[in-house]
Amino acid sequence: MIIFFALLPAYVLSIFYRSFLSVIAAPVMGDLGIGPAEFGLLGAAWFIAFALAQFPVGWALDRLGPRRTVAVTMAIGSVGAFLFAQAGNADLATAAMALVGIGCSPIFMSSLYLFARTEAPARFGLLTSVFIGLGSLGNLVGAAPLALAAQAYGWRPTMFAFAVAFLLATVLAAALVRDPPEVTDASGKHEGLLQGLRSIAAIGPLWLLAPITLVGYAIIATARGLWIAPYMTQVHGLDGIAAGHAALGMATMMVVGAFVYGALQKRAGRSKPLVAWGTAATGVAFALLALIGAQSLAGAILLFAIIGGTGFTYAILMAHARQFFPEHLVGRGMTFVNFLFIAGAGLIQWGSGWFVAAQRAAGQGAAVAFANMHWGFAALLLVSTAIYLATPERKAA
């Protein structure tokens, strides 16, 4: 419970910061004078900085412990949160988002590290799913409530309030997090950063996990965090508040999906079938969205909700990967997998922004541009699922 009290408020804010931009896209783009490509880079900055920070964060968790790791990086994130609220141009806003990404980079990993080091392996998947499910409240706050607050007070005062909340969460985490005892390898020594990464890279099953890890969460985060509101406003003509409610529906299903996947994983004791079927279903839902989303508002809202529920396999995929790491590499191993999750999200967000901008520049309407993007998402998910099926379900004895 101490882990939850110490890190859950920070994780709620981490989830918020990776998903909020979609809902205030119009005022942010208008205020900063940017188009879809620059907006995609703005969203990607958080994910790119977060992903690159995973390597030093993993080393720091294993060598310094989560308390100092969280305190230092979240202090950096607090600076970025205040900077974003008052950024006067796109470059400053992008740099601010990168600082927030660094600040958020150890939060979830510290929680998983503490779960892995202090709880039985059989409980890891369930605890991770519950933590993600509760943390996904940040997804809900970053939907309709954010749209209402931004309309009532403006997006800058609203983001300033979230910066204050991030600073308070930093103080809480620094005060409550406690480090577990150190663990060394079989020789009694610590592996350095590069040596540890070489040991992780030598784990064969991770290469089969890599494609679905790179695109599964990335596509869900991109759809929810960047494009659902622009899709609803540009394709179906909704206003910002109504688009925020559509985003809230998807975010709610992501919360539900996290809890359902955790319960199913606990009951079945298996992650692989759930990840495979869930990702395949998400790919099919994106294909249907590309086919019929522009013709039916209700159908589009329903499909985005289904995508949110079936696609949120993050926790149980992490639990599957966790089985392959020795104890002395738990921190670096899980942060390596998280690097794939978040780096994929950064690349997909940047690439999707470029793709939409290129489509519009070529004369395509919003409906066709988004449909083509959704076809691409469907293909990536289905191909990565096919590769994932070759991954062993458990670590070899």
Question: Which residue type does 283 have?
Answer: G
Q: 155 falls in which pLDDT band (50, 70, 90)?
A: very high
Q: Which residues contact 272 (CB under 8 A, 6 or more apart)?
A: 320, 388, 391, 393
Q: How far apart, in whole angstroms, are the C-alpha atoms of residue 259 and residue 132? A: 8
Q: How far apart, in whole angstroms, are the C-alpha atoms of residue 169 and residue 8? A: 9
Least confident segment among 2-11, 283-292, 362-371: 2-11
Q: 395 falls in which pLDDT band (50, 70, 90)?
A: low
Q: Around Cβ 384, how many Cβ atoms within 10 Å?
A: 22
Is residue 193 predicted with pLDDT exceeding 70? no
Tell me the two tokens of residue 78: 């607090």
Question: Which residue type does 106 have?
Answer: P
Tell me the two tokens of residue 232: 């609803």
Question: Is residue 36 within 8 Å of residue 26, measured between CB atoms?
Answer: no
Q: List, for residues 220-258, the tens digit of each pLDDT value.
A: 989 988 899 899 999 999 988 898 889 889 988 988 888
Q: List, for residues 270-288, the tens digit of each pLDDT value.
A: 889 999 999 999 999 999 9
Q: List, for residues 30-69, the tens digit of each pLDDT value.
A: 999 988 888 888 888 998 898 888 888 888 887 888 889 9
Question: Which residue type does 337 have?
Answer: V
Question: Is residue 373 within 8 Å of residue 355, measured between CB atoms?
Answer: yes
Q: How far apart, in whole angstroms, are the C-alpha atoms of residue 355 and residue 216? A: 19
Q: What share of the chain is helix, strand, coil (3-state, %, to 5)?
A: 80, 0, 20
Q: List, for residues 112-150, the tens digit of each pLDDT value.
A: 888 877 776 667 767 777 888 888 788 788 887 898 999
Is residue 97 predicted with pLDDT exceeding 80? yes
| CA-closest candidate to residue 318, choices 294, 282, 342 | 342
The fraction of the chain above a pLDDT of 90, given in percent, is: 48
Concatenated DSSP letters of 41-87: HHHHHHHHHHHHHHHHHHHHHHHT-HHHHHHHHHHHHHHHHHHHHT-
In this prediction the pTM is: 0.74
Q: What class, spelled out in words, does domain 2-178+193-388 have in CATH?
A: mainly alpha
Is residue 205 predicted with pLDDT exceeding 70? yes
The interaxial angle of helices 144-153 and 155-176, nearest 10 deg, is 120
Is residue 262 predicted with pLDDT exceeding 70? yes
Q: What angle do CA 12, 16, 20 make, to 5 degrees?
A: 170
Tell me the two tokens of residue 280: 């395949």
Concatenated DSSP letters of 105-142: TTHHHHHHHHHHHHS-HHHHHHHHHHHHHHHTHHHHHT
pLDDT, residue 396, reads: 56
Q: Around Cβ 32, how many Cβ atoms within 10 Å?
A: 18
The fraction of the chain above a pLDDT of 70, given in percent, is: 93
Q: List, for residues 302-358, the tens digit of each pLDDT value.
A: 999 999 999 988 888 888 887 887 776 776 777 788 888 888 888 898 899 899 999
